[in-house]
Amino acid sequence: STTLPYPREAVAKLGDVAVNEPVYFNYPDSRSPCIMIRKGREVKGGVGPDKDVVAYSTQCTHMGCPVGYDKEEETFKCPCHYSIFDPDNAGQMVIGHATESLPQIILEYDEAEDALLAVSVDGLIYGRQANII
């Protein structure tokens, strides 16, 4: 099988991203909504000088509903059947009907540009047979 390359896409300047404020973007294409979070502390897979920036697909792995970021609980919550996912632990499901973690968007930090870039996806985006289609 052929694996198509992931795009490298700038999401935001690190200096513009406030701690615990979701940044909305699409990756690897316009039909795939995602959220980036700067946690303010080192987390699994986090990038940047403090290893604190992570990003996830916001399509729930159960049936594809859009998960939202709960700033108080610092989790992703699905409004459809109440699955909860942990952004500090690679998108792992905490509670609910989903059987897969939220796909984690792999980020890179370009220090010279202070840029956060999306470069790949770990996990299969809901409803797809391949992430790059």
Residues classed as catalytic: 62, 81
Residue 123 is given by DSSP the state S
Q: How many positions of this chain bind ligand FES (CB under 6 A)?
A: 11
C-alpha distances in Å from residue 65, one per residue of 48, 62, 91, 127: 30, 8, 15, 11
Which residues between 62 and 91 bind ligand FES (CB under 6 A)?
Answer: 62-63, 65, 78, 80-81, 83
**Which of 43, 98, 102, 125 is close enough to bind ligand FES by CB under 6 A?**
98
Q: Does 97 contact ligand FES by CB under 6 A?
A: yes
Residue 76: beta bridge partners?
69, 85
Q: Which tokens in the block code for residue 114? A: 């202070």
Residue (83 or 107) nearer to ligand FES, CB: 83
Yes or no: say if 81 and 66 are a contact pair by the CB < 8 Å rule: no
- HSE at residue 76, side-chain half, CA atoms within 13 A, is 30
Among 6-14, 61-69, 99-107, 112-120, which window interacts with ligand FES (CB under 6 A)? Answer: 61-69
Pairing assessment for the beta strands 68-70 and 23-26 based on DSSP bridges:
unpaired
- Which of 11, 35, 53, 60 contacts ligand FES by CB under 6 A? 60
Report the residue number, 26 or 96, with the smaller CB distance to ligand FES. 96
Residues that bind ligand FES (CB under 6 A): 60, 62-63, 65, 78, 80-81, 83, 96-98
